[in-house]
């Protein structure tokens, strides 16, 4: 059975003191995390403090982006090497907000995925269609093309250790969630794309999250589906109580 991954994507929210407060409250919770991985993907500025605050606990820390080069004259950017050195263990790559506002492309996503593995970071690679694409029945072809491009040139072992987050753009921050069956159908099609490219063993190991208005009220149904192995959560990850409920749902699948 694949272990569930519940990751909070804090986006550009919280101050450092709020972030530290969140981590210390969450760490104090008694949670059985045998069947779930808990990840907080925070603004780069908070990563070092959060790694220190959560050391030895069930919580892992992730970044929300990285640059593909190891180092260089790239003002304002953060490298995989720098993240690894801080003790960060996950990195979100190709979030739709970065594709939309910061010119992230399938090609840069692929370069970043490779750089993540070079620095022992687990990539959470985001794919997803717009409302227009969904309405013209292009969802599976778009998502499949994004997945293929993102994973190009990775080894079987690396793909097994990749997390794919299926986030339909129209469901992000809108309160609209894909139905659990629709989300599962797209997650299954992502797994089939991986099966075609990398074979059965890899496809059955890779974890595929759903993201887009996930909250305590809808997570159980989503996680009950065969091909959904966790959630990437924005708004509902910002409060400790709500994040704990999401983790409990993951632990109880």
Q: How far is the CB of 126 from ligand 13P (least distance, A)?
A: 7
Yes or no: say if 96 and 167 are a contact pair by the CB < 8 Å rule.
yes
Concerning whether 67 is annotated as a catalytic residue, the answer is: no
Residue closer to ligand 13P, measured from CB, 108 or 203: 108
Out of 95, 104, 129, 248, the active site residue is 95
Q: How far is the CB of 174 from ligand 13P (least distance, A)?
A: 7
Task: Count Cβ atoms below 10 Å from residue 102 Cβ, excluding itself.
Answer: 10
Q: How far is the CB of 218 from ligand 13P (least distance, A)?
A: 10
- Residue 128 known to bind ligand: no
Residue closer to ligand 13P, measured from CB, 80 or 211: 211
- Residue 250 known to bind ligand: no
What is the rounded CA–CA span in Å between residue 118 and residue 154?
A: 11
Residues that bind ligand 13P (CB under 6 A): 9, 95, 167, 172-173, 211-214, 232-236
- Residue 9 known to bind ligand: yes
Q: How far is the CB of 72 from ligand 13P (least distance, A)?
A: 28
- Residue 242 known to bind ligand: no
Concerning whether 95 is annotated as a catalytic residue, the answer is: yes
Out of 37, 104, 167, 248, the active site residue is 167
Convert 144-164 into a string of H (helix), E (strand) and C (coil).
Answer: HHHHHHHHCCCCHHHHHCCEE
Residue closer to ligand 13P, measured from CB, 108 or 202: 108
- Residue 170 known to bind ligand: no
Residue closer to ligand 13P, measured from CB, 171 or 206: 171
What is the rounded CA–CA span in Å between residue 131 and residue 203?
A: 27
Known catalytic residues? 95, 167
Q: Which residues are annotated as a binding site for substrate?
A: 9-11, 173, 213, 234-235
Q: Which residues are annotated as a binding site?
A: 9-11, 173, 213, 234-235
């Amino acid at each position: 059975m694949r272990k569930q991954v519940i990751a909070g994507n804090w986006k550009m929210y919280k101050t450092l003191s709020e972030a530290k407060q969140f981590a210390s409250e969450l760490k104090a919770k008694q949670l059985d995390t045998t069947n779930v991985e808990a990840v907080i993907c925070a603004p780069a500025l908070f990563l070092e403090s959060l790694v220190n605050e959560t050391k030895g606990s069930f919580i892992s820390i992730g970044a929300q982006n990285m640059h593909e080069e190891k180092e260089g004259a790239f003002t304002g950017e953060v490298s995989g090497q720098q993240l690894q050195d801080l003790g960060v263990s996950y990195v979100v790559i190709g979030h739709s907000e970065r594709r939309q506002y910061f010119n992230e492309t399938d090609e840069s996503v692929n370069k970043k995925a490779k750089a993540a593995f070079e620095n022992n970071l687990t990539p959470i690679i985001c794919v997803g269609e717009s409302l227009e694409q969904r309405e013209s029945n292009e969802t599976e072809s778009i998502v499949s093309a994004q997945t293929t491009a993102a994973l190009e040139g990775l080894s079987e072992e690396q793909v097994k250790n990749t997390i794919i987050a299926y986030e339909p753009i129209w469901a992000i921050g809108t309160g609209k969630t894909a139905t659990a069956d629709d989300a599962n159908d797209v997650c299954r099609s992502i797994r089939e794309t991986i099966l075609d490219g990398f074979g059965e063993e890899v496809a059955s190991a890779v974890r595929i999250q759903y993201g887009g208005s996930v909250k305590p009220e809808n997570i159980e149904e989503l996680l009950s589906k065969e091909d959904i192995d966790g959630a990437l959560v924005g708004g509902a990850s910002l409060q400790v109580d709500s994040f704990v409920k999401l983790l409990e749902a993951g632990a109880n699948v």
